[in-house]
Amino acid sequence: MLKGKKILNLAAAILLVTALFTFIGLAGSMGEPASGYKEEDYYVQTEKALEHAKVKMMDFVLSDTPGLEGWKGASINPTPLILYDLNGKKLYYEFSVEKDGKVVGRMKVGASTVLGNSVKTFELGPRKWNGTLAVGKAKEIVQKQYPNSEIRSVQLIVYSYPKIGVMVTTYDMVSGKENTTIMDVSSYSIISNVADITAIREGASVAWSLYDHMSIEDRKQGIEKWKKYNNAVNKTKEKLKSLGFDLNDKSLTEGMTGKLNKETVGITSTSQYMLNVALYGQETDYYCAPASGKMMADYHGLTHSQNHVAGVMGTTTSGTTNGGQLTYFTTATPNGLGKTGSSIDSSPTWDEAKAEVNNNRPLHSLIPGHTRLARGWKTETDWWFFTTYYLFINDPWPVNSGDNYWEDWDTETHTYYIYARN
């Protein structure tokens, strides 16, 4: 997806959060991975992913990216957490950014070149969930539900980007059947519990495979984007070497950043702008829209609880409709935002988000199955004419905490924007 490309409106509604509700917000087709460009045939080696993370982290720190002030002098832990897709294939390497013995951030890097631009997110602060605890909890739940079964596999998966879960596959020793259970890592809620994982991958629940809905053309374009991205990284690496820096040394020490600036590592232009909007974690698995609405209310000087916002939006355990969110935006104060000029954009672009933020208006940024709030933008161009585009996201997931991150525009399909305007 390019910066200004219009995304087709393939979803009638999104934000569906229970396993019993048919997911209809996914852009693209579901089913088996497209042939000819299988993700595992284009896996990125961990060392290469780390190299990309180091270079892009340097770019972001040296261009004074808002939110990453504490990353100066930090280094990247070379051992990533591997996150899998619902289809069982490696999806992301999540690297921890560490300083003075503490985690100050995280970076997700694509594990396959079919995903395009390599570094997907720059996430602020430590991880908001504990993977070891989540895996233990998932095993405990499954063993109670299926006492006659043995656990065949356990994976940390991205079950509905950016949401992460534990997928446990069991084998019933009596019936000889397998069962797949997916549990959210933050709420410990069971997202899906089915006998056949294929039923999930065909769109019968809110868990879905990012790889499965990529077309052959998507994958082909992704590989070409990755090659260009990798070429820019290699040229930056050569430039650093000419200046006496070895990328394999501990990355981004205070001494290194003191001698370098964005121009010396190949960044010819960078622009960015961010609004100040408080982050609130969603209070339930299906409160992403009410939590985002609470953020919007806070920005506009109103104090609304998530329960209040959910009531005005008409939120149910199946989630919130786009129309429900718009109703909250347009409803007169004190019950709503009183923004009568609000609207839904079914063909969102990066340029439109940038324009909205430049007018000091945060917006709801919707992706398949999820609502977040966008409040910033950034673009970078290097000497080799490689340009990347980012949005800064206030994400209400994980449950009860939320997360902040810079996200490459190409990371996910953007289904709708909802604007809050007078």
**Residues 264-305 pLDDT 10s:** 777 778 899 999 999 999 999 999 999 999 999 999 999 999
Can you say how many angstroms the Cα of residue 277 is from the centroid of all Cα atoms in its chain? 19
Please tell me whether residues 148 and 46 are part of one structural domain: no
My answer on whether 116 and 251 are in the same domain is yes
Q: Is the peptide bond before 290 cis (omega within 30 degrees of 0)?
A: no
| CA–CA dist 382, 397 (Å, integer) | 33
Q: How many CB atoms lie within 10 A of CB 278?
A: 13
| 320 in any annotated domain | yes
Residue burial 60-78, b: 16+ Cβ < 10 Å; e: rest? bbbbebebbeebbbbbbee
CB neighbour list of residue 249: distance below 8 Å, 6 or more residues apart: none
Q: Is residue 156 part of a domain?
A: yes
Same domain flag for 223 and 94: yes
Same domain, 86 and 141: no
User: What is the amino acid identity at position 409?
Assistant: W
319-328 pLDDT, tens digit per residue, is: 999 999 999 9
37-68: pLDDT as tens digits: 899 999 999 999 999 999 999 889 988 999 99
What's the structural domain count of the chain?
A: 3
Q: Can you give the pLDDT at residue 269?
A: 82
CATH code for the domain of 312:
3.90.70.10
Does pTM top 0.75 for this prediction? yes
Q: Place 256 in a pLDDT band, splitting at 50, 70 and 90.
A: low
- For residues 51 and 247, give the distance between their C-alpha atoms in angstroms, rounded to a whole number: 7
Question: How far apart, in whole angstroms, are the C-alpha atoms of residue 49 and residue 223?
Answer: 14
Q: What's the chain's length in residues? A: 422
Is residue 398 included in any domain, yes or no?
yes
Q: Are residues 47 and 146 in the same domain?
A: no
* Full residue range of the structural domain in which residue 292 is found: 273-419
**Same domain, yes or no: 104 and 135:** no
- 8 A C-beta contact, residue 261 and residue 62: yes
401 domain-assigned: yes
Lowest mean pLDDT among 161-165, 240-244, 288-292: 240-244
Number of other residues whose CB lies within 10 A of the CB of residue 352: 17
Query: Where a domain ends, among 204, 224, 247?
Result: 204
311 is written with which tokens?
A: 């009531």
The whole-angstrom separation of Cα 377 and Cα 40 is 32
Per-residue pLDDT at 12 exceeds 50: no
Residue 119 · residue 109 · CB < 8 Å: yes
115 and 53 inside one domain: yes
What pLDDT, on the 0 to 100 scale, is given for residue 261? Answer: 78
Does the pLDDT value for residue 417 go beyond 60? Answer: yes
Please check whether residue 34 lies inside any domain of the structure.
no
Question: Does 293 share its domain with 184?
Answer: no
193: domain CATH number? 3.10.450.40
pLDDT confidence band for 30 (50 / 70 / 90)? very low
| 394 and 294, same domain (yes or no) | yes
- Are 373 and 367 in contact by the 8 Å Cβ rule? The answer is no
22 pLDDT tier (thresholds 50, 70, 90): very low
> What pLDDT was estimated at residue 235?
87
**In the chain, % of residues over pLDDT 90:** 68
The answer on pLDDT for 17 being more than 70 is no
Domain co-membership, 305 together with 372: yes
CA distance 206 to 190: 11
The distance from CA 174 to its chain's CA centroid, rounded to whole angstroms, is: 40
Cα distances from 225 to residues 229, 231, 283, 317, in angstroms, run 6, 10, 38, 39
- Asked whether 55 and 40 are in contact (CB, 8 A), the reply is no
What HEC string does the chain produce?
CCCCCCCCCCCCCCCCCCCCCCCCCCCCCCCCCCCCCCHHHHECCHHHHHHHHHHHHHHHHHCCCCCCHHHCCCEECCCCEEEECCCCCEEEEEEEEEECCEEEEEEEEECEHHHCCCEEEEEECCCCCCHHHHHHHHHHHHHHHCCCEEEEEEEEEEEECCEEEEEEEEEECCCCCEEEEEEECCCCCEEEEECCHHHHHHHHCCCCCCCCCCCHHHHHHHHHHHHHHHHHHHHHHHHHHHCCCCCCCCCCCHHHHHHCCCCCCCEEEEEEEECCCCCCCCCCCCCHHHHHHHHHHHHCCCCCCHHHHHHHHCCECCECCHHHHHHHHHCCCCCCCCCCCCEEECCCCHHHHHHHHHCCCCEEEEECCEEEEEEEEEEEEECCCCEEEEEEEEECCCCCCCEEEEEEHHHCCCCEEEECCC
Span 199-210, mean pLDDT?
64
Model confidence at 148, pLDDT cuts 50, 70, 90, reads: confident
* Rounded Cα gap, residues 274 and 292, in angstroms: 17
Q: Is residue 329 within 8 Å of 299, Cβ to Cβ? A: no
Instruction: List the structure tokens of 333.
Output: 């104060």
CB 189 within 8 Å of CB 284: no
- Average pLDDT in the 133-156 region? 94
pLDDT at 119: 97
